[in-house]
Structure 1
Amino acid sequence: MTASIKKSIFGLSNQEVIKIVVAFLGWRVGLFLLGALAGHFILYDPSFPYADAILPRYNLPQWLFSWANFDGVHYLTIAEKGYIGTGLIQAFFPFFPFVILRTLFILSGGEMNTLLVGLLVSNIAALASFLLWFAFLKSEYGIRCAWVGLTLLLIFPTSFFFGALYTESLFFFTIIAAFYTARRQQWALAAGLTIIATATRVVGIFLLPALLVELWLQWRNTHPKSATKQLHFSQLRSFADSCWREILLILLGGVGLLAYTAYLANTFGDPLYFLHVQSEFGAGRQESVVLYPQVAWRSLRILLTVPPQSWGYYTYFLEFITGIGGAVALFFSLWRVRLSYVLFALGAFLMPTVTGTFSSMPRYILVCFPLYLLLMSYLESRPRLFWVVNGVFVTSLAINTVLFVQGYWLS
């Protein structure tokens, strides 16, 4: 057997791995170059706290340390100092800064530049995500769709967050890996990955119902006599009797979130402190639940009142488009994409909106992977439209990257 067809990472051929690594490097270098040139387009004008106090002390050029803009500052603070002594950072979950800290000590005993180590962690996770995403698509939809799906992920208008000092790349890897292993009935691995996901982002908790539905779908396929179109109690009982071990493993996935709430209860006296500080971040967030139609109406009213010539209008427009378009796309994906995948994405999409705003939705939507699956299934046989979408995505990605690196709020 020749080297070109031998299987390697995630069951991919060596040739496929090389192509994906080259695509990743092109994506990464291209975005770095765009960030380095961003100052030629607009002024550096950071609009977030601690920009002048924290990031410059890492002694890196502005175009490089700006990849830790906004939330990246908080993850650096947690990695270096923990949660005590700085307000509001309890909204950010611990696993990502923990990985940064562990990597820092493994590589240098704590002597290396924390920001560089954080970017290293994010970009390694991004490469792993792209490889696994391709393997996932190839196994489920075939090689042609896999390349289309990978392209859509790489050029998505906010994909630059995968390479920033944010949780996106690590979290995306854990959710795809959880479904990838679950589809292969490796439930212990899926549970372990879910623990990591729930310790990385609160929306990781939606993997629990999604994986339970995935288990149900697999059980129904192997028990056609027990499965009927209408759900009955006897059917659920038979499912529970057959799959109780797997159900317990899936529920174990909530340990990541439970561990963090236990820490918050012990340290700050409030197990839900990560939720209660959300309203203090501004951006229109509030603690009481706001229904989706109200959020959509609020977003539309903002668009009608903000001056269109301001940079803020562009951000509000992005939030509105992703907040409305994402909901519509997920609705249609119910008929085109596997139910367990859509269930997770719906939870991850809708949970942020209950705080009363579409703020950060262009970033949150990155992990709602059924959207890529829906686009992929539609564009795979329409090459002309695929290239039109590519053009729109690449242009938006370039604009968004420049704005982010120069300190303008996007998501």
Structure 2
Amino acid sequence: MAARVVLTIAGAALAFRVFSALVALLTNIVFPDYQREQFTVFGSTSPFWDALARYDSGWYYQIARYGYEGGAGGYVPGGRSSIGFFPAYPLLMRFVGRAIGRTPADFYIGGLIVSWAAFVAAMIGVYALARLDLPPKRAERATLLAAVFPFAFFFGAVYSEALFLASAVGCFYFFRTKRWILGGVCGALATATRVNGILMWPALAWIVWRQLTAGSTGPGLRDGDAAGSGPGLQDGGAAAGSTGPGLRAGPGRRDGRAIDGAAAEQTAGSTDRWWAIAGLTLVPVGIGMYSLYIYGLSGNPLEWAATIQRWGYYPGGSPVSVFWRLGTALAIHPYAFLASERLAPYDSLNGVAAFAALVAVPFVWRRLGAAYGLFMAANLWLPLSTGQVEGMGRYVAVMFPLFIWLASIASSRAFIVAAVVFAMLYTLCLALFTNIHPLF
């Protein structure tokens, strides 16, 4: 990818983050908060900085400053604690925060730097990944749609979404371009950032299988034999019309080079296979190392999962039930539901985002391949199987295949409609989050 393209995307992404932060500031000044602030960045209210640090930002701050054992969110046996939040993002917050200073605010600012830098990297990655399937103009569309998706405002807040998107996109890009170890490292970062990072593994395994079988050494050897490594020796001897060793020596040397080429291809293919396996093996290292740490802390390597369940998330149910409940309420008495139920507007926004992504899965699968379809299906199933739509908007925000598929649609009118609707809802959702509505 040309340096000019990289710089253009990076500049546009950074400018968009600044613009979004200014919109959040204006929203925070003009509109009253929906509820009292749980915490502040500087100890007293700051309309700018506090707008970018809400809800889970406090948990990440606790981990960045105190680790998993200290502070208000430290591990408590049998209780809710910070171990439900994976370590990659808060550790980077700590590193950057301490490089800036040691005040509490420095950790929050460190988190913003990590999020914004990861967002820039993610947008470059989305473009590069889209270019594997789309022409430049449509790859630009995919990048824009990913940036203005209604819940993409989380990429600019003290949340782990931007880091997860950057690492996931990098992982898929490197696997698709057969740079297995780099892909494995990005995958390990993703699984250390969020629990659903491990759900990339089936999709990555599919990519490996398709890449290796499409250009495998098996068919290549058979083609080489047909071309001359085996029969070619016989054909060469017959063409020479003589059994004299001198006449056989000429074709023998040429066919020997063919054999050497086939052998080199077989060796390269075998090496590539082992590198691919190594890359796949690296992906679970992130979640594996964290589980090992949690085992040392609690005696249960999956205590982080038990902690998540204590917030009422029990995966394994039917994803259909949540849509049935929400859809029935919106269909039968929409106004009464939205006006009287406290969480109804936020559940509706999350639910619509999840439903739209679910409907898109077969289209993504058909147009872009099984790997992207598997990635989306798995990352939708896990949270939806808890029977809740809370947080589904930001879970969908990191599903980059959705934006690549939308950009692949030939109609310019469809793209404009999608971009306008996304941007309008982006502004609404950003305002709700900024004013501490329960959209998280």
Of residues 22, 31, 37 in structure 1, which corresponds to 2:26?
A: 37
Counterparts of 1:298 and 1:90 in 2: how far apart (Å)? 31
Counterparts of 1:94 and 1:17 in 2: how far apart (Å)? 29
When normalised by structure 2's length, the TM-score is 0.80
Residue 202 of structure 2 aligns with which residue? 209
Q: Does 1:308 align with 2:338?
A: yes
Counterparts of 1:355 and 1:400 in 2: how far apart (Å)? 23
Residue 123 of structure 1 aligns with which residue? 116
Of residues 265, 287, 306 in structure 2, which corresponds to 1:257?
A: 287
Using the TM superposition, give the Cα deviation of residue 257 of structure 1 relative to its aligned residue in structure 2, in angstroms: 0.7
Q: 1:405 to 1:340 in 2, by over 3 A?
A: same
Q: 1:134 to 1:288 in 2, by over 3 A?
A: closer
Residue 365 of structure 2 aligns with which residue? 334
Q: How many residues align?
A: 380
Is residue 191–residue 287 contact of structure 2 (8 Å, CA) maintained in 1?
yes
Counterparts of 1:301 and 1:280 in 2: how far apart (Å)? 28
Q: 1:111 to 1:399 in 2, by over 3 A?
A: closer
Using the TM superposition, give the Cα deviation of residue 40 of structure 1 relative to its aligned residue in structure 2, in angstroms: 5.5
AA aligned to 1:359 is E
Q: Which secondary structure state, in structure 2, belongs to the residue aligned with residue 121 of structure 1?
A: helix
Is residue 136–residue 180 contact of structure 1 (8 Å, CA) maintained in 2?
yes
Using the TM superposition, give the Cα deviation of residue 42 of structure 1 relative to its aligned residue in structure 2, in angstroms: 3.2
Residue 74 of structure 1 aligns with which residue? 59
Residue 250 of structure 2 aligns with which residue? none
Q: Which secondary structure state, in structure 2, belongs to the residue aligned with residue 140 of structure 1?
A: coil
AA aligned to 2:420 is G
Counterparts of 2:43 and 2:125 in 1: how far apart (Å)? 32
Q: Does 1:358 align with 2:389?
A: yes
Counterparts of 1:41 and 1:350 in 2: how far apart (Å)? 39
Matches of residues 6-405 of structure 1 in structure 2 within 5 Å?
11-14=1-4, 16-39=5-28, 42-46=31-35, 51-52=37-38, 54-59=39-44, 61-85=46-70, 86=73, 87-108=80-101, 113-223=106-216, 243-281=273-311, 285-287=312-314, 289-301=316-328, 303=330, 307-309=337-339, 312-378=343-409, 381-405=410-434
AA aligned to 1:363 is R
Using the TM superposition, give the Cα deviation of residue 37 of structure 1 relative to its aligned residue in structure 2, in angstroms: 1.4
Pick which of 291-300 and 363-372 moved more: 291-300
Counterparts of 1:133 and 1:60 in 2: how far apart (Å)? 36
Counterparts of 1:46 and 1:199 in 2: how far apart (Å)? 32
Counterparts of 2:327 and 2:392 in 1: how far apart (Å)? 14
Using the TM superposition, give the Cα deviation of residue 288 of structure 1 relative to its aligned residue in structure 2, in angstroms: 5.5
Q: Percent same amino acid among aligned pairs?
A: 27
When normalised by structure 1's length, the TM-score is 0.85
Q: Which secondary structure state, in structure 2, belongs to the residue aligned with residue 62 of structure 1?
A: coil
Is residue 97–residue 109 contact of structure 2 (8 Å, CA) maintained in 1?
no
Root-mean-square deviation (CA), in Å? 2.5
* Cα deviation 1:95-136 (Å, max 9, x = unaligned): 100111112233446786211111111001111111222222
Q: 1:40 to 1:302 in 2, by over 3 A?
A: farther
Counterparts of 2:104 and 2:376 in 1: how far apart (Å)? 39
Is residue 28–residue 51 contact of structure 2 (8 Å, CA) maintained in 1?
no
Using the TM superposition, give the Cα deviation of residue 408 of structure 1 relative to its aligned residue in structure 2, in angstroms: 0.6
Is residue 315–residue 383 contact of structure 2 (8 Å, CA) maintained in 1?
no
Counterparts of 1:358 and 1:244 in 2: how far apart (Å)? 40
Q: 1:201 to 1:240 in 2, by over 3 A?
A: farther
Using the TM superposition, give the Cα deviation of residue 319 of structure 1 relative to its aligned residue in structure 2, in angstroms: 2.0
Q: 1:406 to 1:320 in 2, by over 3 A?
A: same
Is residue 181–residue 189 contact of structure 1 (8 Å, CA) maintained in 2?
yes
Counterparts of 1:302 and 1:90 in 2: how far apart (Å)? 35
Q: Which secondary structure state, in structure 2, belongs to the residue aligned with residue 118 of structure 1?
A: helix
Is residue 157–residue 397 contact of structure 1 (8 Å, CA) maintained in 2?
yes
Using the TM superposition, give the Cα deviation of residue 324 of structure 1 relative to its aligned residue in structure 2, in angstroms: 1.8
AA aligned to 1:333 is V
AA aligned to 2:354 is G
Is residue 105–residue 111 contact of structure 1 (8 Å, CA) maintained in 2?
no
AA aligned to 2:40 is L
* Cα deviation 1:303-332 (Å, max 9, x = unaligned): 467632366322121122122221110122
Q: 1:25 to 1:263 in 2, by over 3 A?
A: closer
Counterparts of 1:196 and 1:293 in 2: how far apart (Å)? 31
Counterparts of 1:59 and 1:114 in 2: how far apart (Å)? 16
Using the TM superposition, give the Cα deviation of residue 405 of structure 1 relative to its aligned residue in structure 2, in angstroms: 0.7
Using the TM superposition, give the Cα deviation of residue 160 of structure 1 relative to its aligned residue in structure 2, in angstroms: 0.7
Counterparts of 2:136 and 2:152 in 1: how far apart (Å)? 22
Q: Which secondary structure state, in structure 2, belongs to the residue aligned with residue 334 of structure 1?
A: helix
Is residue 35–residue 437 contact of structure 2 (8 Å, CA) maintained in 1?
yes
Q: Which secondary structure state, in structure 2, belongs to the residue aligned with residue 335 of structure 1?
A: helix
Counterparts of 2:185 and 2:41 in 1: how far apart (Å)? 37
